[in-house]
Amino acid sequence: MFEKLEVFKKRNTEITKLLCDPNVVSNQEKYRALMKEQKNLTPIVEKYNEYEKAKRDEEDAKQLLNEAGLDKDFKEMVESELENAKNSIERISEELKILLLPKDPNDDRNVIVEIRGGAGGEEAALFSGVLFRMYSMYAESKRWKTEILNSNETGLGGYKEISFIISGDGAYSRLKYESGVHRVQRVPETEAQGRIHTSTVTVAVLPEAEDVEVEINPSDLQIDTFRASGAGGQHINKTESAIRITHIPTGVVVECQDERSQYKNKEKAMKVLKARLLEAKMQEQTEAMAQERKTQVGTGDRSERIRTYNYPQGRVTDHRIGLTLYRLDDVLNGDLDEIIDSLITADRTAKLENSIDNK
């Protein structure tokens, strides 16, 4: 581990020098690549510097204790410093192990989120709207940008389905754990008897694909135009601005009708199509690595029930890690960090244990 850390430290120093080189500064592509590499190295190098300082403190304390003629009070102080240094070394070593775990290459990407009403009809559609608001507010708290790609709104203001892109640094690293079935237990607005119903909504979180990763042959696409439909909007049913793209080899179908411009709808639909094809590609790679899939917190499968939102008890439960919070309103208002931080910690712990078992 420490040989690798020395290599990282040396590389970080090299990058710092390169970033001051006028030839590198003038080459924007190379400059951006080096900045990204240094951004990934910095937390590791900083933590390693902490480790080295703790080791020096430990050695200094040991040397002092070996000197003759120390008075009692001073000796006790040095022994305390030695104990603190040892504790720091142990703590930092564990933190370094986590930092050295292989990073998900998609973590820095923007995400495309798809929310669809499942069991529960109109109530599921209404809760789809609640989840869309939750993720939008969370994105706002992170200063990320949210843009709707496509939506199919119901008469009561819910969504049969809605897809949107969240753009921002590290969006995928935070939101990738949200894929799966979200269950809600509450008295529906459509229920006159006051009975608690259980409905479900599926969420899919896809990393936005770059053009170089997903090659699409134009001859593999069937592109249809149709009139937009849904609740509200003056342009509804007047122009054939809506776009439906079918990727013939895979059968993947994507629709977009939120823009008045056919060109803009096509552009957005292509983003979603590329993201879905990238997801399918990633799924194949993940299934080929069965052990890696076992160490994930949740499989990322859309059919996996991951969370329950219980309105009568004001409770949110994430079933993958057994976390229960009694502050439903805060969560639905976009305060997701406690849940997401816990999922990240559990995921890293599982992967760390797996890496130790495989040694």
What percent of the chain clears pLDDT 90, i.e. is strictly above it? 42
Q: Would you say 153 and 197 are in contact if contact means Cβ atoms under 8 Å apart?
A: no
Residue 308 belongs to some domain of the structure: yes
Q: Which residue range forms the structural domain that includes residue 228?
A: 218-285
Three-class secondary structure of residue 331 per DSSP: helix
Do 205 and 305 belong together in one domain? yes
- Residue 343 in any domain: the answer is yes
HSE toward the beta carbon, residue 39, CA cutoff 13 A: 11
Q: Which long-range contacts (CB under 8 A, 24 or more apart) does 334-340 make?
A: 334/133, 334/134, 334/135, 334/136, 334/137, 334/138, 334/139, 334/140, 334/141, 335/138, 335/141, 336/134, 336/138, 340/174, 340/175, 340/177
**6 CB-near residues (< 8 Å, 6+ apart):** none
What's the pLDDT score for residue 295? 45
The answer to the question of residue 172 being in a domain is: yes
**Given the structure tokens 């990238």, which residue do they identify?**
278
**Residue 286 clears pLDDT 70, i.e. is over it:** no
Question: Is the domain of 115 the same as that of 203?
Answer: yes
Relative to beta strand 323-325, strand 145-153 is unpaired
Q: How many CB atoms lie within 10 A of CB 32?
A: 10
How far is the C-alpha of 351 from the C-alpha of 359, rounded, in Å? 13
pLDDT at 234: 42
- Given 99, 125, 154, which residue is the final one in a domain? 99
With 60 as the cut, is the pLDDT of residue 359 above it?
A: no
Shared domain for 53 and 135, answered yes or no, is: no
Q: Which residues of 111-131 are buried (b: 16+ CB within 10 A; e: fewer)?
A: bbbbbbbbebbbbbbbbbbbb
pLDDT digits (tens, 9 = 90+) for 200-222: 999 999 888 775 567 788 888 88
User: Does residue 235 lie within any of the structural domains?
Assistant: yes
264: CATH:
3.30.160.20
- By the 10 Å C-beta count (0-12 exposed, 13-18 middle, 19+ buried), 155 is classed as exposed
d(CA 71, CA 248): 83
DSSP E strands, the chain: 111-117, 145-153, 159-167, 180-186, 197-207, 221-226, 242-247, 252-256, 305-310, 315-318, 323-325
How buried is residue 38: exposed, middle or buried, by Cβ count under 10 Å (0-12/13-18/19+)?
middle
Query: Is pLDDT above 50 for 223?
Result: yes
Q: What CATH number should be reported for the domain holding residue 140? A: 3.30.70.1660
Q: Are 159 and 37 contained in the same domain?
A: no
Is 227 in the same domain as 277?
yes
Q: Please report, as a single letter, which amino acid is at residue 78.
A: V
**What is the reported pLDDT for 65?**
87
Residue 243 pLDDT: 86
In a domain, 91, yes or no: yes
Q: Which pLDDT belongs to residue 294?
A: 46
Out of 74, 99, 124, a domain closes at: 99
The answer on pLDDT for 260 being more than 70 is yes
Residue 192, pLDDT score: 62
Residue that has been written with the tokens 């022994």 in this structure: 79
Q: Higher pLDDT residue, 287 or 257?
A: 257
Task: Identify whether 104 is part of a domain.
Answer: no
Residue 136 is predicted with a pLDDT of 96
Q: What is the pLDDT of residue 292?
A: 43
196 & 242 share domain = no
- % of the chain beyond a pLDDT of 70: 87
Residue 195 domain-assigned (yes or no): yes
Q: Mean pLDDT of all residues in the chain?
A: 84
Residue 112 has pLDDT above 60, yes or no: yes
Report pLDDT digits (tens) over 52-105.
999 999 999 998 888 877 788 888 898 999 999 999 999 998 888 878 877 778
Confidence of residue 190 (pLDDT cuts 50, 70, 90): low
Q: Are 192 and 336 in a shared domain?
A: yes
What is the β-pairing status of strands 180-186 and 305-310? parallel
User: Which 8-state DSSP code applies to residue 230?
Assistant: S
In Å, how far are 20, 71, 118, 320 from 180, measured between CA atoms?
Answer: 46, 64, 11, 11
pLDDT grade for 149, boundaries at 50, 70 and 90: confident
Q: What is residue 45's predicted lDDT score, i.e. its pLDDT?
A: 92
Please, which pLDDT band fits residue 317 given cuts at 50, 70 and 90? very high
> What total of structural domains would you count in the chain?
3
Spatial distance between the Cα atoms of 26 and 30, rounded to a whole number of angstroms = 9
Tokens 């921002």, residue located: 168
In a domain, 292, yes or no: no
Which of 99, 130, 155 lies at the terminal end of a domain, its last residue?
A: 99
Q: Are residues 80 and 203 in the same domain?
A: no
- Look at residue 134 and tell me whether its pLDDT is greater than 90: yes
Read off φ and ψ for residue 241, nearest 5 degrees: -95, -20
pLDDT surpasses 50 at 293:
no
